[in-house]
């Protein structure tokens, strides 16, 4: 066995098993390796968790979640049937129905029976939903979530990179 191999587990550069207790120290661990030495995958995971926690906390101000916000964004383009909305969001109709129930309670969306097919519903964004969406699209939202980690130019650069990842993602 080579010196950098770990018995019974995958090998990574430096011979550490990523499943071993010391491979991914807890935040605040004084013995932890500095982030500059972390592999890119670990940086992505740590940043994603941190941003998601802060974004979720920020969305709570509007009684929204990271799952319900895209509903408002899609409906900003105009009313949709629940089936169309589910297809646009790439989720099941059952999932869409649960999200819509919560968004109806907050007053962000309204459901009405379809004029031609009474079994179907048409969902539309309300004025309150449009106002919440506009507030969330404010550039200050990034500052509220990321704090002082990025200046305005860096935040704009991050937006460009995220847009590229979303547009080119598979």
83-114 per-position pLDDT tens digit = 999 999 999 999 999 999 999 999 999 998 87
* CB atoms closer than 10 angstroms to residue 52: 12
- Asked if the model's pLDDT at residue 40 lies above 60, the reply is yes
97 within domain boundaries: yes
CATH at 121: 1.10.10.10
Residues 76 and 122 reside in one and the same domain: yes
Which residue range(s) make up the domain with 81? 69-136
pTM, two decimals, is 0.68
- Which is higher by pLDDT, 151 or 24? 151
Residues 127 and 142 reside in one and the same domain: no
b/e sequence 86-118, b meaning 16+ C-beta within 10 Å? bebbebeeeebeebbebbeeeebbbbeeeeeee
Query: How many domains, in total, are found in the chain?
Result: 2
Residues 75 and 120 reside in one and the same domain: yes
pLDDT score recorded for residue 80: 94
């Amino acid at each position: 066995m080579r010196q950098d191999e770990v018995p019974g587990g995958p090998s990574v550069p430096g011979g550490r098993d990523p499943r071993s207790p010391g491979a991914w120290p807890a935040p605040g661990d004084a013995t932890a390796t500095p982030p500059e030495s972390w592999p890119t995958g670990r940086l992505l995971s740590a940043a994603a968790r941190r941003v998601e926690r802060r974004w979720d906390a920020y969305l709570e101000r509007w009684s929204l979640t990271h799952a319900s916000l895209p509903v408002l964004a899609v409906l900003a383009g105009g009313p949709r049937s629940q089936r169309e909305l589910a297809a646009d969001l790439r989720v099941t109709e059952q999932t869409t129905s649960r999200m819509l129930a919560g968004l109806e309670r907050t007053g962000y969306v309204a459901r009405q029976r379809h004029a031609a097919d009474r079994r179907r519903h048409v969902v539309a964004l309300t004025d309150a939903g449009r106002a919440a969406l506009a507030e969330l699209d404010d550039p200050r939202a990034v500052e509220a979530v990321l704090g002082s980690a990025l200046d305005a130019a860096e935040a704009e650069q991050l937006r460009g990179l995220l847009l590229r990842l979303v547009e080119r993602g598979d």
